[in-house]
Structure 1
């Protein structure tokens, strides 16, 4: 199978290198200014393409790893999009974080063009993408998923089939709500502790020894104690976007969003202040009484 990928960013770069180096598949990618540097991908044999349609024309599997629903819709159904040039029987694997409603609409467009669609968002970090140990939450027909498992195996540790089409993105938004919600709460507490001159290592140790022990603490602790943000290279703007998607999904389902509203408002403050490009661990500083201090 020849693989196409659209979105060679923090996550997509690791996916692309492992599709080539571990999987041994041919790879074409969309040449886009939002990509990470692609020298390594080109050196491994990856071929740049000018449009999504060009990627579709040569690919049996097309992986999407872009920011969100507007980008997915433009790539799949827009002018020069995948649906205009998709190979018969090709499978689009959407690893983006998107709205379930978008998944269903784009799947209809792909099926009308003769292909199939899987939503398979990721639950790990850019480090895992680089190492080829991502976890995927895959929604869609089991037989379609089975057709692309050899490709997915090149960059994943596990792939869970979580239900019908759209359930991958629904569960990803539930997952990110819990994960980002925990980290936002922890960052606010860490900021308050810092403002009160609490020793940061003592703060971390107290939480780790009690009810605050969590993946959120593990990911933010290096920043709290050492100012090291690199353990979680995830933009605050993307975190806000994911919580916004969760709220949209919840409101459509008639579910309550009381806590989600608060998390979204907390994340909106640094984004509106022009710090959306900060990594999530940096919220610890951005939430302080004097963020510039």
Structure 2
């Protein structure tokens, strides 16, 4: 199987590395020539256009920052659609709008190809080792064809249903991570203001009901001072904006989501779109005159989980909940 990869940024570059590391023929394309040159030096092939890549690859993966960027790659001049045909798969790994993904997937399918949306979750450090989680939205037939390369890209692969379902779940999980990040910023600044030792505070949260994936990753780079989780405020704003739009389209009267959108809009006004997302804590550091720093924490996260073949995660079904008042059949 020959795989093409378009979008070699913070996440895409690491995912493409897993493809190359595991022995696949790899073609690469990016508007930035530097990562392309790096991959070519490692044995990948350069594709001048998405059309060229689609013409010679069995699978073309896109991992791009915005829905408009993806649309341009798929249906623009020299785009993927011009090279798609029977037996070829387009795999969309971006965090994007579900309706736009469905629209583009429809065009790929109409051109004779297959489409799968497969956004990832778990942080750049896990993308680098092939241990990240993948949500896959597509037909079951396409999922079965895609599973061999998906289990190279990620450790845990969940078939979420039809096209669009994975994009919705990815936006939901990114919204939850953002809410956790903001609440952790408030908690850490409050611990500092109360005179608590921040190393002890970190451990107290980690071993308690307050623990989370975000705490075990982003709190560490916050306390280190690097604040480097390879994710920026403009990307957070995009993701939580997509979640807000999703909820509004279904008439869900959210209360926390609008506040998060205002918080990040204010932070972008202060620090710029490309500021690292954990620096959302700077708003509170500046308001209190405190620095939330501690010794012994790493400047970036490194995945220490050994790389192993991935597998399909299957949702729990047909669970019988025992109720003593009614018996096992209740």
| Normalised TM-score (structure 2) | 0.81
Q: Within the alignment, does 1:11 sit opposite 2:11 as a pair?
A: yes
Instruction: Provide the C-alpha distance between the structure 2 equivalents of 1:158 and 1:214, rounded to a whole number of angstroms.
Output: 18
> Counterpart in 2 of 1:140?
138
Give 3-state SS (helix, strand or coil) of 1:191's partner.
helix
> Counterpart in 2 of 1:26?
25
1:112-261 correspondence runs (5 A): 112-194=110-192, 197-230=195-228, 232-261=229-258
User: Which 4+ residue blocks in structure 1 deviate beyond 6 angstroms?
Assistant: none
Q: Within the alignment, does 1:275 sit opposite 2:272 as a pair?
A: yes
Instruction: Provide the C-alpha distance between the structure 1 equivalents of 2:251 and 2:87, rounded to a whole number of angstroms.
Output: 37
**C-alpha displacement of 1:141:** 0.4
**C-alpha displacement of 1:195:** 5.0
**C-alpha displacement of 1:272:** 1.9
Q: Is the 8 A contact 1:31 1:48 kept in 2?
A: no
Q: Is the 8 A contact 1:237 1:271 kept in 2?
A: yes
Instruction: Provide the C-alpha distance between the structure 2 equivalents of 1:198 and 1:280, rounded to a whole number of angstroms.
Output: 25
Give 3-state SS (helix, strand or coil) of 2:26's partner.
strand
Q: Deviations over 1:74-113 (max 9, x none)?
A: 1112222111221322111111001110111001110121
Instruction: Provide the C-alpha distance between the structure 2 equivalents of 1:81 and 1:190, rounded to a whole number of angstroms.
Output: 47
> Counterpart in 2 of 1:2?
2
1:278-293 correspondence runs (5 A): 278-290=275-287
Instruction: Provide the C-alpha distance between the structure 2 equivalents of 1:31 and 1:204, rounded to a whole number of angstroms.
Output: 39
Q: Is the 8 A contact 2:232 2:276 kept in 1?
A: yes
Give 3-state SS (helix, strand or coil) of 1:96's partner.
coil
If you compute each CA radius of gyration, which structure gives the higher value, 1 or 2?
2
Give 3-state SS (helix, strand or coil) of 2:136's partner.
strand
Q: Is the 8 A contact 2:28 2:36 kept in 1?
A: no
Q: Is the 8 A contact 2:118 2:166 kept in 1?
A: yes
Give 3-state SS (helix, strand or coil) of 1:4's partner.
strand
Question: What is the total number of aligned residue pairs between the two structures?
Answer: 290
Aligned alpha-carbon RMSD (Å) = 2.1
Give 3-state SS (helix, strand or coil) of 2:85's partner.
coil
Q: Deviations over 1:129-149 (max 9, x none)?
A: 111112100011011111122
**C-alpha displacement of 1:59:** 1.3
Instruction: Provide the C-alpha distance between the structure 1 equivalents of 2:263 and 2:246, rounded to a whole number of angstroms.
Output: 19
Distance 1:36 1:287, change over 3 A: farther
> Runs of 5+ in structure 1 lacking a partner?
none
Distance 1:266 1:192, change over 3 A: farther
